[in-house]
């Protein structure tokens, strides 16, 4: 199979189900930003130990982001329900459990912190902001079409996970957080 198909050369692409839409369609903005987020998650993996709990969870997140992108790219009027991808409650619970696990190692927050620290935690903060943008785009898209409720929940929880992971990485590397003091 070739990487190029030439079917998008005139600014249109196909949704799952065959519907052709403009490449600037809100769906593409949303799932394109999911793809961007997934790339940042891949970058964060470069800063985790191989086979560590963090790497294992990040791989699961990347797999789930492919599902989220697929959900957003599916024309539900043309794809049978049994063939549609689903974002499950268990996916959200996994993130919550990981947040709670990492949080046990962290000092309670008493102030806002400035993004930064070291490379791994900095990429977590970048991914977190891309995740928030993704969430906003999907929320806006939900005013035009039905979006699985768990997709929005998952993105919301993922941004929380990325924030806690940034703090956790800094803690593991003994990097002091920089408080924001107005």
Q: Is 8 helix (H, G, I), strand (E, B) or coil?
A: coil
Residues 22-106+113-172, CATH architecture: Up-down Bundle (1.20)
Name 7's Cβ contacts closer than 8 Å, sequence gap at least 6. Answer: 13, 14
Closest CA to 179 of 116, 104, 106: 116
CA quadruple 114, 118, 124, 127: dihedral sign: positive
Position 122 confidence tier, pLDDT thresholds 50, 70, 90: very high
SS3 content of the chain, % helix, strand, coil (to 5): 60, 5, 35
pLDDT digits (tens, 9 = 90+) for 132-171: 999 999 999 999 999 999 999 999 999 999 999 999 999 9
Name which of 11-25, 47-61, 106-120 the model is least confident about. 11-25
Tens of pLDDT, residues 60-73 = 999 999 999 999 99
How many residues are present in the chain?
182
> Domain coordinates of the chain in residue numbers?
22-106+113-172
DSSP state, residue 175: P
Rounded to 5 degrees, φ, ψ at 76 are -65, -15
d(CA 144, CA 129): 24
Alpha-carbon torsion 157, 159, 162, 164, what sign? negative
Query: What string of H, E and C letters represents the secondary structure of 45-86?
Result: HCCCCCCCHHHHHHHHHHHHHHHHHHHHCECCCCCCHHHCCC
Is the model's pLDDT at 117 over the cut of 90? no
Residue 77 pLDDT > 80: no
Cβ 177 vs Cβ 113: under 8 Å: yes
pLDDT of residue 75: 84
User: Cα 130 to the chain's mean position, in Å?
Assistant: 8
pLDDT tens, position by position, 10-50 = 788 888 888 888 788 999 999 999 999 999 999 999 999 99
* Helices (H), ranges, 73-148: 89-103, 119-141
What is the value of pTM for the model shown? 0.92
């Amino acid at each position: 199979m070739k990487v190029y198909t030439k079917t998008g050369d005139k600014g249109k692409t196909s949704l799952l189900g065959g519907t052709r839409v403009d490449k600037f369609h809100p769906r593409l903005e949303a799932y394109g930003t999911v793809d961007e987020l997934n790339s940042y998650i891949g970058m964060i993996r470069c800063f985790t130990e191989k086979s560590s709990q963090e790497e294992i969870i990040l791989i699961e997140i990347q797999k789930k982001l492919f599902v989220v992108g697929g959900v957003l790219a599916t024309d539900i009027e043309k794809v049978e329900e049994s063939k549609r991808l689903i974002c499950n409650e268990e996916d959200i619970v996994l993130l919550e459990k990981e947040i709670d696990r990492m949080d046990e190692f962290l000092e309670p927050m008493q102030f806002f912190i400035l993004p930064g620290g070291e490379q791994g935690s900095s990429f977590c903060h970048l991914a977190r902001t891309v995740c928030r943008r993704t969430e906003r785009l999907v929320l806006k898209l939900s005013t035009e079409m039905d979006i699985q409720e768990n997709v929005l929940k998952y993105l919301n929880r993922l941004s929380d996970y990325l924030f806690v992971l940034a703090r956790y990485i800094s803690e593991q590397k003994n990097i002091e957080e920089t408080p924001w003091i107005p």
